[in-house]
Amino acid sequence: MSHGEIKMSDTTDYKVPALNAGEIFRNELVIKKSRFITSVGHTAGSEASEAFLAKIRQEFSDARHNCYAFNAGKGNETAFVGCSDDGEPKGTAGRPMLNVLVHSGIGEITVVVTRYFGGILLGTGGLVRAYQDSIKEALTQLPVKDAENLEELSFTVEPAGMHVVEQLVRKHGGRVTERSFSASSCNFRIVVSAKNSSALKHDLELLHR
């Protein structure tokens, strides 16, 4: 059912938003009559980032721009990052926001800046500053905490066994942070608390037999 070794690495030593599941930290700036509403969520993994983005887009569905940046992994790393200008001129929103986010040292975070146009054009330089200032001010006020004492596992399974892996991860309180597929396998990246990692690893190893 499965093949490949279980690889483990430590994922501690960075900050994450001190927010409960579903909780949103929010901040707002008004710049030349345009409203920039910043929404921040604690999103451990790409799936959690996507869910948070969908939630904010639905809440502000009448806004022309819901620009975003996220780091779904460790702080100060760029393995699981992404951003979007969402209709703003290229390079004026998503990338400047992501630059601030990556250098903040905060991981497992998604930030959406919603803009309601106030009738005064800001120009490309003004937009860059507005989106950067929005995220900087939000991160300055955002409550943070140390990341949990987590360990990361990499595991490969044949497609028929992927649901078994997902059940085992849930059983041990872990999270799937990434899935990738090939013609013959499904590759998982998983995070789990250090106290549960041995038990999860044992159960995954049983799938090799």
Going residue by residue through the chain, which has 209 residues, state the pLDDT in tens, using 9 for 90 and above: 444 445 555 555 789 999 988 899 999 999 999 999 999 999 988 888 999 999 999 999 999 999 999 998 888 788 889 999 999 999 999 999 999 999 999 999 999 999 999 999 999 999 999 999 999 999 999 999 988 777 888 888 888 888 999 999 988 888 888 888 888 889 998 888 887 888 898 888 887 66
Please give the DSSP secondary-structure letter assigned to residue 160. G
* Cα dist from 204 to 77, 80, 185, whole Å: 27, 24, 15
CB-based contacts of 167: which residues, under 8 Å, 6+ apart?
none
Closest by CA position to 190, among listed 160, 150, 146, 158: 150
The CB density around residue 184, as the number of other CB atoms within 10 Å, is: 9
Residue 124 C-beta-side C-alpha neighbours within 13 Å: 5
